[in-house]
Amino acid sequence: MTTTSTTSSDPRAELVELRAERDALRAQLDGDIPAATRWLQRKVLRQAAALDVLNRRIVTQRFVLRTIENLGRSLSTEEYRTARAEITNEQLRDRIEEPSKV
């Protein structure tokens, strides 16, 4: 198991995570493998959710940049919605945020 990254902007959250990791390591040393496994699973799920949020932002930014490159100017909200709606791949379209969130 590894410690949390040092990029956390909230020292309290990082401390909570480090304490949880310490407790999981203690549980593992005490032979309570299920407790250590549950902690690790929760950590993986949190990291996957954070990665998904970051990935959605990147996909949205790439979409906007490609569209701006094609038009040579910024998009209006309506143009953004129209361009997003024209994407035939439903999974990709769902990863691009609504204009109100960008």
Which tens digit of pLDDT belongs to each residue from 71-95?
788 778 888 888 888 888 888 888 8
Distance, in Å, from the CA atom of 41 to the CA atom of 54, rounded to the nearest integer, reads 20
Tokens of 18: 């480090």
* pTM to 2 decimal places: 0.56
3-class secondary structure, 28: helix
Q: Where are the domains of the chain?
A: 11-101
- The reported pLDDT for the residue numbered 6 is 44
